[in-house]
Amino acid sequence: MQAWFSGSSSVDDGQGKEGSSLLADWNSYAASRESEDGSAFGFDLESAMRSANDTVSGTFNVVSKGVRDIPGNFQSATSSVPSGKALLYFGLFLASGRLPFTLGFIGSMVGTIYVSMVLHSYILSVLFSVLQ
C-alpha cells in the first residue's frame, strides 16, 4: 500500500498498475473531468466573478445616487437634534420624577427590616409593609 502512495514501482498491489500513485491517479482523473466539463468546477468562474462584480457595482451606484439626492443640507438635517441643555433638563426631570418614589420604597424596606429584627414591633412591621 505504501508503494502505491509513494509511486514506487517495486511492489505490485494486486491491481496490475505498476508505477501509479495516488497523485498520478488524481491528476489523470482531474484532467479527464476538466476535459469533459470545460472547467474543474463545472461552471465558468471568471464569468461568475464578473457577474458578482457588476451586481456590487450597480448596488453601490444606486445607493450613492440616493445619498446625493437627499433634499436639504446638513443644517436642516440636524435642526431636530436636541441641544445639550435640553438633554440635561431631560435627565434631571427623569431622575427627579423617579427619585422620591425610589427613596420612599427603599426607606420603607429598611424600616420594615429594622422594626422586625431590632424592635420586634408587630404593629410597626405591618405599617412599613403596607407602605411598601
Looking at the domain assignment, is residue 120 inside a domain?
yes
> How many whole angstroms separate alpha carbon 13 and alpha carbon 3?
8
> How many whole angstroms separate alpha carbon 25 and alpha carbon 21?
6
Q: What pLDDT, in 10s, does the model give residues 101-112? A: 888 999 999 999
Q: How many residues does the chain have?
A: 132
Looking at the domain assignment, is residue 8 inside a domain?
no
Q: What is the pLDDT of residue 110?
A: 94
Q: What is the pLDDT of residue 109?
A: 94
Q: What is the pLDDT of residue 119?
A: 92
* Structure confidence at residue 35 as a pLDDT band (50, 70, 90): low
Q: Give me the domain span that covers residue 114.
A: 103-131
Looking at the domain assignment, is residue 90 inside a domain?
no
Looking at the domain assignment, is residue 18 inside a domain?
no
Q: Provide the Cα torsion 24, 29, 33, 38; round to 10°.
A: 10
Q: How far apart are the first and last CA of the chain?
A: 83
Looking at the domain assignment, is residue 117 inside a domain?
yes
Cβ atoms within 10 A of the Cβ of 33, count? 13
Q: What is the pLDDT of residue 6?
A: 58
Burial 43-70 (b: 16+ CB within 10 A, else e): eeeeeeeeeeeeeeeeeeeeeeeeeeee
Looking at the domain assignment, is residue 88 inside a domain?
no
Domain count, the chain: 1
